[in-house]
A and B are shown apart, each in its own frame.
Chain A
Amino acid sequence: MNIIITGLITGSMLALLAIGFSLIFGVARIVNIAHTAFYMVAGYCIYVLSVKLGLHPVLGMLIAVVVVTVFGLLAYKFLIDPIREHEAAVLIATIALAMIFQEAMLLIFTGDYLTVSALIEGYFILFGVKIFYQQVLTFGVVLVLLAVLWFLLMKTKLGLAIRSTAEDREVANLMGMNDSQLAMITMGISVALAGFTGAVIAPLTVLSPYMWMEPLILMMAVVVLGGLGSIKGSFVAAYILGFTEALVVFLIPKGAFLKGSVALSIMILVLLLRPEGLFGIVFEEER
């Protein structure tokens, strides 16, 4: 039971992050290392707005998401778009961007650990397991977000455009879709998702300028495991790795620190059997 609940929470968080990462990769072929850095910035925004300025946490969270999205769009417009043709350069640019965010946060907030108070304090007991209300809330928000996203991608014209670009950029372009504009929109959605993740997770965790490193690796593992560019894949893989982590902690308590290694080993094993991930689309060789 514990395993299921912990796995669900970790999995949901990973799913949110991974889907955002996967989206922008699928549409614009951008490997955005700074993705989790946006999530960190969101956490700090909430800290400033709700703890320092005393705004209502929910309001703080919404503003934080907006702020982060604006940051993301600006970064895309001025730093990534001009060099989009050079994949390696884009990669390094996003790493540098993440470092800049990290250093800026370090300068403003120092390296001390900060926390944000939960929206709903307390816990309830389900099948003998204590669960925070905040965790349930997080889970709920994740589900709602995923539903909205699904609707956006599957039922709207924009979603159709995004999906078709992800599948074959050149043909989509030929069909009259504005590739560059679409990439911009997708970047916005992607960063907003990272912001939302930061918003719902901030009260459950400890803020530090280095907090973007840890989920980054797992998030990438999720994306690769699920298949790059596949939303469904990311979703399933997130829960697989989430449950793996929970299992490791419960079955070998002394080896709890190994959870990352085990999750990554699973990823590699799966990839050996299915090089394109669980639900990956085999991309045509882009020449």
Chain B
Amino acid sequence: MVNAGFYLKRFYTIVRGEVLVLPSRIIVALFFIILLGLPLVSQNPYLIRVVILTSIFAILAASWDLLSGFTGQMNFGHALFFGVGAYTSALLNIHLQISPWGGVPLGAVAAVLAGLIVGIPCLRLKGTYLALTTMAFPIILMGIVFALPDLTGGELGISGLRRLSNSLLGNYYIHVVAMLTLCTIMWKITDSHTGIIFHAIREDELAVRASGINTTRYKLLAFCLSGLFAGLSGGLYAHYMRIAGPSTLEVSMSFSVVIWAVFGGLATIYGPVAAVFILFPLLEFVRFWPEYRALIFAVIVLIILLYMPEGLIHWVRDKIEKECPRCKIRNVATRNTCRICTAALD
């Protein structure tokens, strides 16, 4: 009893000292709690469905950020990884009867291979060349899908897949927990030594190379990691929809990912996740006005970008928090002095 009380108290201290001091951390904690607790409030299948799909796309958008936001390797063909993950997992499920629990990770492995195949030649390219070249890959794969209708089902796709779970709540928790875990992992990666090198490559590749780091290897690593997570989300998508079709490879899919990530704010991981959680339900919300749906969506994106070209999350974060000029620790915007080093904030 005493022990439990001790841990409870310690937990409380940690929460107070580490979470409650910063609004952004409070928001993240609330986000976790709300997502995990949502089924207690409502089990409306439509709502659950929207949240599940949002989670899947959140993984995808974050994985794009990991590659393009951090290393600056603009990838306009992210649908490639998504589609490869979806198709591989679907093919394994249909032809070899591998359960989705095995198929999704294997699909992700295939997406890593796709990352290597795309990454190795593309390393020679830079900036816009890279962006426009990567855009071509999913289109080429789509041509292959159409050319082999016996294997891939062509335009029809591969249907009749098994779901990860048959219950509504089972599916909900699998996808939401997967999203929370994977995004946390991605965030941790970007926070690690590797993540700092990724970031440095974006800022000044020459300088990184001059410091004796093999940037090529790190860029390839970014391609693979990003492929891994995108492949996972593709596999999840295929099994949740129970169909893997050519729509997973469409240009609009690649574009959506970029829109989400840039809208949220590059090189943050949580930015794209937040953007998906805002934009995807928004698209569903304007369903009551069906004719203007896409128009409203585009106008909102355009206006937000006009006022917050850095992305929504960067803008919000700068409004509610200040960085200490001395120790670079973030503080609530209402404070006058830094919470660590007590230097005056401006």
Contact = CB atoms under 8 A, between A and B. Distances in A.
B305 A83 contact: yes
B26 interface: no
Interface in A102-123: 102-104, 107
Interface string A252-286: 00010110111011011001100111001000010
A31 B295 contact: no
Interface of B is mostly: helix
B143 A267 contact: no
Closest 3 pairs (CB-CB, A-B):
A261-B143, A103-B295, A99-B298
Given A85-B309, A267-B136, A287-B204, A92 B143 contact: no
Interface string A236-249: 00000000000000
B146 A257 contact: yes
B113 interface: no
B181 interface: no
A97 interface: yes
Interface in B293-309: 294-295, 297-299, 301-302, 305-306, 309
Contact of B309 (A89, A96, A104): A89
B8 interface: no
Given A91-B258, A261-B143, A96 B136 contact: no
B306 A276 contact: no
Nearest to A99: B298
A90 to B, nearest CB: 8
B302 A217 contact: no
B259 interface: yes
B225 interface: no
A103 B298 contact: yes
A95 B310 contact: no
Interface stretch (B85-93, B121-129, B239-247, B334-342): B121-129
A268 B121 contact: yes
Interface in A189-241: 213, 217, 220-221, 223-224, 228
B27 interface: no
A96 B298 contact: yes
A20 to B, nearest CB: 15
A83 B309 contact: yes
Given A31-B128, A100-B299, A275-B126, 12 more contacts: A88-B266, A89-B262, A91-B262, A92-B301, A92-B305, A97-B302, A224-B129, A224-B132, A257-B146, A271-B124, A272-B121, A275-B124
A271 B259 contact: no
A223 B301 CA distance: 27
Nearest to B74: A88
Interface of A: 25, 31, 79, 82-83, 85-86, 88-89, 91-93, 95-97, 99-100, 102-104, 107, 213, 217, 220-221, 223-224, 228, 255, 257-258, 260-262, 264-265, 267-268, 271-272, 275-277, 280, 285, 287
Counting contact residues on chain B (CB < 8 A from A), the size range is 35 or more
Interface in B127-165: 128-129, 131-133, 135-137, 139-140, 142-144, 146-147
Contact of A96 (B139, B206, B251, B302): B302
Nearest to B125: A275
Contact of A277 (B129, B137, B139, B306): B129
